[in-house]
Structure 1
Amino acid sequence: MPVRLKKLIGTVIIVALVIVYALVATTIATYRLAESEWYVHLLYFLFTGVLWVVPAMFVIRWMERPPKKKQA
């Protein structure tokens, strides 16, 4: 697969990941943390704010991998 195509696909995947992840994390916080203390909110959003990096890291690693050489 050409590098430019991999980067385009990876960028679309990461943008979609961030949007879906933010919506899910905020929805969970709204329903589960409504009556919680401020420090619980802080810890939750610190944790979830960093957690999205894990799947994005795999997508970025895939995007940066050099193309395979064609065997003759």
Structure 2
Amino acid sequence: MQSRKVIGLVVLMALLAVYCGICVFIAVQFLPDSKLAELIFYPVAGVIWIFPAMKIVHWMQSVPEVE
């Protein structure tokens, strides 16, 4: 159980680092110089990472099945 939490933490931190890099790349390369585009992009990008993170945390908290 403890190893699941450590593995999950490492995966979660790696996911977040990669996701932040992707968001910055998209923002710099593809967003027009518009405050409205930024106003829409950043909140959406700030919420999307929660869904894979929830799956990782759920996996970390679940008890492995013993046969």
Instruction: Provide the TM-score with structure 2 as the length reference.
Output: 0.92
Q: Which has the larger radius of gyration?
A: 1
Aligned to 2:47: 50
Note if 1:32 corresponds to 2:30: yes
Question: Which of 15, 18, 21 matches 2:16?
Answer: 18
* 1:34 positional shift: 4.1
- What is the CA RMSD across the aligned residues, in angstroms? 1.0
Structure 1 residue ranges (4+ consecutive) displaced by more than 2 angstroms after TM superposition: none
* 1:8 positional shift: 0.1
- Which has the larger helix fraction? 2
Q: Where does 1:2-13 land on structure 2 (aligned, <5 Å)?
A: 3-13=1-11
How many residue pairs get aligned? The number is 67
Percent of aligned pairs sharing the same letter: 31
Gaps spanning 5+ residues in structure 1: where?
none
